Amino acid sequence: MMRPGRVTRRWFGGVAVASIIAGDVWFWRRRNRLLQRAHACRARASVLNGPTDQEAAIRGHYIELARQYEHAASRPWLSVTRDALPPPVRDSP
């Protein structure tokens, strides 16, 4: 007959392995989501290539967001700061 301590150790080992696998999957999914956001921000920035200062400011905003998401994707266990608001849109005269 097996002693209770050995069975408990097996359970702890199984739970540890399962949690490592679940955490790895979670990090992988989070990394992919952050990279998708970075790609979307880069795409938005590439569309804005007009000569106005307003478009340059908005393009810079999206490039900075893309950098933030790429940095977060390289370290998915860290939290991401809230997105900054884009520069206000001014009506042209």
Element (H, E) at 36: helix 4-47
Structural domain range at position 63: 38-77
Reading the block at residue 92, the tokens are: 């042209």
pTM of the model: 0.70
75-89 pLDDT, tens per residue? 888 888 888 888 877
**Residue 92: inside a domain:** no
**Residue 3: inside a domain:** no
5-41 pLDDT, tens per residue? 677 777 888 888 888 888 788 888 999 999 999 999 9
CB burial of 18-39 (b: ≥16 within 10 Å; e: otherwise) equals eeeeeeeeeeeeebeebbebbe
**Residue 23: inside a domain:** no
**Residue 54: inside a domain:** yes
Provide the number of structural domains found in the chain: 1
